[in-house]
Amino acid sequence: MISTIWTEKYRPQKFSDIKGQKEIVKRVSAFVKEGNMPHLLFAGPAGTGKTSLAMVTAKEMFKDTWQNNFLELNASDERGIDVVRTKVKNFARTKAIGDVPFKIIYLDESDALTREAQQALRRTMENYTRTCRFIMACNYSSKILEPIQSRCAIFRFRPLEPEAMKELLEKIVVAEGLKVAEEVKTALVEIANGDCRRLENVLQSCVALSKEVTLDLVHSIASIAKPKELKVALEMAAAGEFVRARDSLLKIMLNYGLSGLDIIRQIQKEVWNLQIDNNKKLRLVEACGEIEFRLVEGSDEFIQLEALLSIFATK
């Protein structure tokens, strides 16, 4: 049994450990070498290295004193104006400890900050630039006020490429002494979809249940249907075998515990693997979008999925 959470155990300790964001790492490391940097805004999907890069920046900048000069706050938990006026302001206004030019405050999920808190943060960033720099991480930069964005150097993170994900996966497999088949590795990378945190969590959950990591176990833990099973159900519908396709899809949903939205997203991907006319594929993708909208609006899952299968059978 693994004694620590892998997302912490394998967190990068230096710039060269960070995967998939070469250009961003290059520019941030250049700031560190100069011993100075502006306020930074990291924007992008979850699990792409925003927090890891912020912590590595602090470690490389401050060395042994990094814990005394680095404050990490999760803005989704502490998102009100009082936090900015007290905790953030008090840390920012005091001089850094040791022979370092400034402190760093890292605000994770900063797009969850209220508008009032962002207005207060804007003034704090202005007033205490000499003693403190801010690194803000968010999923959606559009939710950050323009005056704050204009004070920051903005870096946009992308989902990790499959090669970078496989490199990280190989590192974990070797370090933990695991035996994972190539097809399982490929499935893990596809399921993670560029999110290294999801990759590590799914793999660790699998290992906690069984030392032998199989495709069945991976799909079960990730709550994702096997693409082959889903493709067979769609092929039945496309061939006009509506009842068999409906029963097969229902069985897949029950076996893997999938919601209607989960299954729609997978169906949309599998449409492109069907051996049908390309124009028909486009119409079916459009149908998936329509059914997904109905499900979001609260329509009955099974009725809507039956409607989608009927479109597959008649298009």
Same domain, 152 and 25: yes
Same domain, 60 and 150: yes
Instruction: Report the number of distinct structural domains present in the chain.
Output: 3
Amino acid present at 290: E
Place of tokens 């060395």: 63
Same domain, 140 and 167: no
Give the tens place of pLDDT for each residue, 204-230: 888 888 878 888 888 888 888 888 888
Amino acid present at 247: D
E strand or H helix at 188: helix 182-192
Same domain, 42 and 130: yes
pLDDT of residue 57: 93
Q: Evaluate whether residue 1 is within a structural domain.
A: no
Same domain, 26 and 152: yes
Same domain, 207 and 260: no
Average pLDDT in the chain: 86
Task: Give helix then strand counts, H and E, for the chain.
Answer: 16, 7
Residue 15 to residue 29: CA distance in whole angstroms: 7
pLDDT of residue 7: 74
Residue 87 to residue 264: CA distance in whole angstroms: 44
- CATH code for position 211: 1.10.8.60
Same domain, 43 and 142: yes
For CA atoms 225, 231, 235, 237, give the dihedral sign.
positive
pLDDT of residue 1: 39
pLDDT of residue 76: 60
pLDDT of residue 27: 93
Last residue of a domain, one of 197, 222, 247: 222
> Under DSSP, is residue 107 helix (H, G, I), strand (E, B) or coil?
strand
Nearby residues of 311 by Cβ (< 8 Å), 6 or more positions away: 284, 287
Residue 41 has pLDDT above 60, yes or no: yes
- CATH code for position 87: 3.40.50.300
Give the tens place of pLDDT for each residue, 166-189: 988 888 888 888 888 889 899 899
- CATH code for position 234: 1.20.272.10
Same domain, 133 and 202: no
Place of tokens 């949309």: 268
Q: Evaluate whether residue 111 is within a structural domain.
A: yes
Q: Evaluate whether residue 10 is within a structural domain.
A: no
Q: What is the pTM of this model?
A: 0.78
Same domain, 215 and 245: no
Using alpha carbons, select from 7, 42, 6 the residue that is nearest to residue 25. 42
pLDDT of residue 99: 84
Same domain, 85 and 176: no
Q: Helix 227-238 vs helix 242-256: angle between axes, to the nearest 10 degrees?
A: 160
Last residue of a domain, one of 128, 156, 184: 156
Nearest-Å Rg of the Cα atoms of the chain is 24
Last residue of a domain, one of 187, 203, 222: 222
Q: Evaluate whether residue 9 is within a structural domain.
A: no
Q: Evaluate whether residue 8 is within a structural domain.
A: no
Q: Evaluate whether residue 3 is within a structural domain.
A: no
Q: Evaluate whether residue 16 is within a structural domain.
A: no
Same domain, 43 and 128: yes
Q: Evaluate whether residue 70 is within a structural domain.
A: yes
Same domain, 203 and 284: no
Q: Which domain range does residue 198 map to?
A: 162-222
